[in-house]
Structure 1
Amino acid sequence: MKTIKNLLLGILFFTCSLSQAQVSVNVNIGNPPSWGPVGYTDVRYYYLPDIETYYDINDRQYIYLTNGKWVRSVTVPAPYRTYNFYNGYKVVMTDYRGPEPYVYYKTYKAKYPKGYKPKHQKTIGVPPGQAKKAMSGKHKDHGGGKGHGHGKDKH
């Protein structure tokens, strides 16, 4: 009788532990742009405070407000076509997975105003025309880039 009791108790614990198990899979279908910050492989959106625009990595689209409506486009709004994405700060949305990142627009706009740049962000790629300069700088810099943040905002 004791053996059956122990067996049932074991089955009960095993069943409970299986019900607690969770599987978490993060799939980033898109590749981040070369101007994106280093260190993020499982995010979908950046918020770009300087131009009050979101960038959807998976769909390679900009999401911005125009005439009171949110628009998705493969190009940025005309006034920002000359914007330097390498120099602007990117707020990495690490905690949002839905299709409408702009639901937090008022919060992001207040927290990250135009010109927001708390620290240096290292980008994935080198700005066009800077590749030669970056290569010559590599020979001189032996510090390993210490002291430069990676811009890991948890928003």
Structure 2
Amino acid sequence: MGEDPAGQADPSYLEVARRLMGSARDLVGAHAADDLVFDTMSTLLPRWDRITGDKVAYARRSMVNRFRDQGRHLRVEAAHRHTFVTPDREEPANDRVASRLDLSAVLHLLPERTRQVLVLRYQLDLSAADLAVILGMPAGSVRRVAHDGLRALSDIIEPASEGTAS
């Protein structure tokens, strides 16, 4: 195992994959997180030893890029899909949130762009300028989407909390 410039040991390939899983779950949901991380890491494996610097950051950036590519593909596919599957049992959004205040579940109640901005900005700690480049939108728009997304999360969580506090 090599060392990075800060003197810390390089994380192993499997450790990097484990670190990516939480972010992947928030980006695409638990059902597709394994595939996103597997695809990302399998692409990096042939050149793993040649990656210099922070391997976790490099892998995270690769995962975000792969997510964006898959998102483009899914948007085209969705535009041509005329049917969709509904769950067997519908629960009101506030009941779902109240029954298990799971951030991933709450994030998936938000629009895709808002969810992307919140996860990339606050979970992966990317700057508004970095997000502007990644998402192809002005930095001011990134900040606005993040602000509106946080407000929407608050609106979703607070009514659920009020309903359970009786």
**Which TM-score applies when normalising by structure 1?**
0.23
**Which TM-score applies when normalising by structure 2?**
0.22
Structure with bigger helix share is 2
Structure with bigger strand share is 1
**Which protein shows a greater Rg?**
1
Asked which structure has the greater RCO (Cα within 8 Å, sep 6+), the reply is 1
